């Protein structure tokens, strides 16, 4: 495993660059965005240097290549999640994918008296679009509760699903790492007549995902959290749903015929891809998906499970000095995310001191303010792992925590 | 940031000066930094135009709380009209150099709240003036 990780690390140019203080870069913020391997960066350069042109229109050689590479990237992403190719819609990111569903599917299918069900640990991106949809339609927003370790409580699920038209649920919590029990929840939601959207922003990057096996109606994820560039993501939707949905944004590239008074639209996925797409980033996202396929998503999952186990064990050494670990303590139920605080050191102070040691962690509310309020945490520090992290990175994190504890006298 | 967490900063964080609330404050204001959730409230007793006493309360990181604590020591006895004109330098002189750009709002929150109390409406961010 170590040789494989060493080979992976060598593929990421940024990991070879020391910080301004001469420290090794210890990147533990992949839940925010992942680093990029050289092949992904090169794919961007190749597009702009060799065949930059618009897609689906030009009849010359470089435009045909751009179109082919762009559509081939769609095939790669479809294969990556087990979808049919026309079910993969390019979007900017997970947030845009969720908003697309909230407006296009939600405006037509929700009405007063209906309910939308989410969980208490959703990222703001999988909460606020549904709040606004409820405001537009008069639907009611309900919540699957989580316990004090951030684990879903399903005791009331049938009652919560009664009258529910949509369940929107994070595959993996970005704050606590909790893996949602989709195999239990999704069939029950379907039995109750609800459509299921899975927010896969932290899922597709870290777990093997087969949307058909999950039986998700929509699955949303971002390229930049899984080795790809920013500005490109995927909305997966079951074909029948996408075909029935009206367009979200309208304009060029998504039309069949246009008259002055009337327009007919393309079939999915292009019906939802108005305007010139993010061509280079989509192509590079395809390269990132290939990279992860070669590494193997089962390997990714096992690597992160082992790292999480090691990190929980090392961090536990600080518990007598006031370190508190939040979220599930079982690496089998989490996905490479650990939230914690150290005594009365504010998470931002801790993160600033860790930064002086080259250790990058996130500190704050992690875009889950309602969850933080419920738990009574003002802020937490969050370390998150990916394929290029090692036990040495966790040792560096612990060294930084030791320094912070010394500075603050805890 | 290496140099920021010095003993006197941590002393102000652990033992904030003028911390608490005032009965019958003449002017007061409060605000928060939505980025990290730091909160500060400032209450002032004013005699004519002169700040006779003040208290701050709130929660947050060492930078926001220590900066606010040191600020309260600096403005006691100052004219309210001068408090309204304070620049970011009063904070930077107190806490020294080395605050990274992302943490500047933490350091400036106390001053923003204090100036808001002095002018009677929400003041701008001192580091953006």
**CATH number of the domain to which A108 belongs:** 3.40.640.10
Mean pLDDT for A115-132 is 98
Annotation marks residue A367 as catalytic: yes
Give the DSSP H or E segment for B82.
helix B80-83
Mean pLDDT for A156-165 is 97
Domain identity same for A284 and A397: no
Question: B37 and A352 in contact by Cβ < 8 A?
Answer: no
pLDDT over 90 (residue A154): yes
Instruction: Give the pLDDT confidence score for residue A230 in this predicted structure.
Output: 98
State the complex-level ipTM: 0.86
| Number of domains present in the structure of chain A | 2
Burial of A46 (0-12, 13-18, 19+ CB in 10 A): middle
Instruction: Read off the pLDDT of residues A163-207 as tens digits, 9 standing for 90 and up.
Output: 999 999 999 999 999 999 999 999 999 999 999 999 999 999 999
Burial of A117 (0-12, 13-18, 19+ CB in 10 A): buried
Lowest mean pLDDT among A61-70, A318-327, A367-376: A367-376
Mean pLDDT for A279-284 is 98
CATH of B7-119, one of 3.40.50.300, 3.40.50.2300, 3.40.50.1950, 3.90.1010.10: 3.90.1010.10
Question: A348 and B61 in contact by Cβ < 8 A?
Answer: yes
Mean pLDDT for B31-59 is 91
Nearest to B61 among A346, A407, A409 (CB): A346
Mean pLDDT for B78-103 is 85
Instruction: Give the pLDDT confidence score for residue A28 in this predicted structure.
Output: 98
Instruction: Read off the pLDDT of residues A223-280 as tens digits, 9 standing for 90 and up.
Output: 999 999 999 999 999 999 999 999 999 988 888 899 999 999 999 999 999 999 999 9
Instruction: Read off the pLDDT of residues A305-335 as tens digits, 9 standing for 90 and up.
Output: 999 999 999 999 999 999 999 999 999 999 9
Instruction: Give the pLDDT confidence score for residue B97 in this predicted structure.
Output: 60
Question: A348 and B2 in contact by Cβ < 8 A?
Answer: no
Instruction: Give the pLDDT confidence score for residue A360 in this predicted structure.
Output: 98
Global pTM reads 0.94
Instruction: Please report residues of B whose CB lies closer than 8 A to that of A365.
Output: 36-37
Domain identity same for A89 and A148: yes
Range of the domain at A399: 2-30+296-408
Instruction: Give the pLDDT confidence score for residue B2 in this predicted structure.
Output: 56
Question: A349 and B100 in contact by Cβ < 8 A?
Answer: no
Domain identity same for A7 and A119: no
Domain identity same for A101 and A22: no
Domain identity same for A262 and A345: no
Instruction: Give the pLDDT confidence score for residue B99 in this predicted structure.
Output: 80
Among candidate residues A238, A260, A294, the one where a domain is terminated: A294
The shortest C-alpha distance from A304 to chain B (Å) reads 28
Instruction: Please report residues of A whose CB lies closer than 8 A to that of B5.
Output: 349, 352-353, 407-408
In a domain, A35, yes or no: no
Nearest to B1 among A345, A356, A364 (CB): A356
Q: Mean pLDDT for chain A?
A: 96
Percent of chain A surpassing pLDDT 90: 94
pLDDT over 60 (residue A293): yes
pLDDT over 60 (residue B96): yes
Instruction: Give the pLDDT confidence score for residue A146 in this predicted structure.
Output: 98
Residue A269: cis peptide before it, omega within 30 degrees of 0: yes
For chain B, say whether A355 makes contact (Cβ under 8 Å): yes
Whichever domain contains A317, its CATH number is: 3.90.1150.10
For chain A, say whether B74 makes contact (Cβ under 8 Å): no
pLDDT over 70 (residue A369): yes
pLDDT over 70 (residue B1): no
Instruction: Give the pLDDT confidence score for residue B38 in this predicted structure.
Output: 87
Q: Which entry of A134, A360, A367, A398 is annotated as an active-site residue? A: A367
What's the rounded Cα separation, in Å, for the pair A155 and A149? 16
Q: pLDDT class for B98, splitting at 50, 70, 90?
A: confident
Domain identity same for A385 and A337: yes
Percent of chain B surpassing pLDDT 70: 95
Angle formed at CA A130 by CA A201 and CA A169, multiple of 5 degrees: 40
More confident residue, B66 or B102: B66
Instruction: Give the pLDDT confidence score for residue A57 in this predicted structure.
Output: 80
Look up residue B94 and give its two tokens. 């107190």
Question: B10 and A363 in contact by Cβ < 8 A?
Answer: no
For chain B, say whether A365 makes contact (Cβ under 8 Å): yes
Mean pLDDT for B43-47 is 95
pLDDT over 70 (residue A59): yes
> A62, A58, A61, A34: which is closest to A48 by C-alpha?
A62
In a domain, A132, yes or no: yes
């Amino acid at each position: 495993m170590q040789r494989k990780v060493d080979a992976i690390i060598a593929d990421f140019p940024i990991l070879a660059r020391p910080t301004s203080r001469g420290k090794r870069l210890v990147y533990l913020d992949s839940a925010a965005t992942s680093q990029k391997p050289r092949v992904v960066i090169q794919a961007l350069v190749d597009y702009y240097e060799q065949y930059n042109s618009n897609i689906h229109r030009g009849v010359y050689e470089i435009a045909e290549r751009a179109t082919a590479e762009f559509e081939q990237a769609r095939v790669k992403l479809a294969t990556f999640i087990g979808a049919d190719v026309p079910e993969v819609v390019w979007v900017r990111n997970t947030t845009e994918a969720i908003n697309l569903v909230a407006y296009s599917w939600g405006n037509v299918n929700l009405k007063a008296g209906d309910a939308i069900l989410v969980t208490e640990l959703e990222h703001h991106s999988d909460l606020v679009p549904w709040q606004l949809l409820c405001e537009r339609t008069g639907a009611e927003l309900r919540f699957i509760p989580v316990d004090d370790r951030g684990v879903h409580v399903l005791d009331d699920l049938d009652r919560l699903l009664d009258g529910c038209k949509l369940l929107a649920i994070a595959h993996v919590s970005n704050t606590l790492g909790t893996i949602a029990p989709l195999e239990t929840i999704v069939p029950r939601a379907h039995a109750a007549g609800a459509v299921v959207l899975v927010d896969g922003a932290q899922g597709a990057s870290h777990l093997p995902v087969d949307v058909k096996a999950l039986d998700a109606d929509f699955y949303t994820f971002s390229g930049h959290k899984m080795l790809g560039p920013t500005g490109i993501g995927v909305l997966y939707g079951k074909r029948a749903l996408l075909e029935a949905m009206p367009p979200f944004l309208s304009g060029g590239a998504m039309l069949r015929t246009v008259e002055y008074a009337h327009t007919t639209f393309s079939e999915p996925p292009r019906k939802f891809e108005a305007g010139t797409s993010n061509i280079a980033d989509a192509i590079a996202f395809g390269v990132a998906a290939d990279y992860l396929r070669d590494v193997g998503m089962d390997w990714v999952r096992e690597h992160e499970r082992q790292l999480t186990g090691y990190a929980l064990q090392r961090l536990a050494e600080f518990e007598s000095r006031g370190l508190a670990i939040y979220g599930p303590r079982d690496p089998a139920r989490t996905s490479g995310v650990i939230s914690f605080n150290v005594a009365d050191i504010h998470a931002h102070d801790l993160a600033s001191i860790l930064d002086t040691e080259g250790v990058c962690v996130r500190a704050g509310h992690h875009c889950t303010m309602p969850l933080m309020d419920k738990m009574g945490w003002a802020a937490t520090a969050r370390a998150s792992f990916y394929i290029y992290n090692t036990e040495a990175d966790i040792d560096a994190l612990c060294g930084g925590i030791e320094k912070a504890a010394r500075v603050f006298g805890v | 940031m290496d140099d920021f967490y010095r003993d006197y900063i941590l002393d102000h964080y652990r033992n904030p000066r003028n911390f608490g609330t005032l009965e019958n404050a003449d002017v007061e204001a409060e605000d928060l930094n939505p980025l990290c959730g730091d909160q500060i409230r400032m209450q002032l007793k004013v005699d004519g135009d002169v700040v006779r006493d003040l208290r701050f309360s709130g929660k947050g990181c060492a930078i926001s709380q220590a900066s606010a604590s040191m600020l309260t020591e600096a403005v006691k006895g100052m004219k309210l009209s001068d408090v309204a004109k304070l620049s970011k330098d009063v904070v930077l002189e107190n806490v020294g150099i080395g605050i990274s750009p992302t943490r500047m709002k933490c350091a400036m929150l106390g001053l923003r709240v204090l100036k808001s109390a002095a002018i009677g409406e929400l003041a701008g961010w001192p580091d953006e003036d």
